[in-house]
Amino acid sequence: MKLFLDTSVLLAAANSATGSSRAIFDLAPTQNWQLISCPYSLNEVRRNLPRLPAAATTDWQRLRPQLVVHEDVLSLNRPVIFSASKDRPILFSALAWADFLLTLDKGDFHDLLGGEFYGLKVYLPYDFLAEERALGRLKTAR
């Protein structure tokens, strides 16, 4: 399964060892999840990491190698109504490369959370994990 992680999930994973964003990284190897992001998101992480405690940078350096980085997708050949223009590269890149977009950005993605965008499922990390657990697909509990 291919999971696209947006900036908010990447920063949350780096900043907390106990949250659902970090659990995605921790569980990925045993679940055969491919963790994906794009340069746009990684640039946002680099800009925002200095605002977090120093330990987040250390943890980010440890987590970063788990990500497969695909190129940014900046436009689609389909009609799109999505008001958060700053997040279009995230949404479009996730659509191009993944099965799920995991985000903590409830403000910009509120209309899509728990639903789909042209077949791309958009979830909060916690909700994704809850669904996987309910479907009996998690190989280890967290």
Parse the chain into domains and list their residue ranges: 2-134
Asked if pLDDT for residue 84 goes beyond 70, the answer is no
Asked if pLDDT for residue 6 goes beyond 90, the answer is yes
- Which is the CATH superfamily of the domain at 2-134? 5'-nuclease (3.40.50.1010)
- Kindly report whether the global pTM for this prediction surpasses the value 0.85: yes
User: How far is the CA of 69 from the CAs of 11, 116, 130, 136, in angstroms?
Assistant: 16, 22, 26, 29
120: Cβ–Cβ under 8 A, 6 or more apart, which residues?
91, 94, 95, 98, 99, 100, 101
The confidence band for 142, taking pLDDT boundaries of 50, 70 and 90, is very low
The confidence band for 92, taking pLDDT boundaries of 50, 70 and 90, is confident
Average pLDDT score, the chain: 88
Asked if pLDDT for residue 123 goes beyond 60, the answer is yes
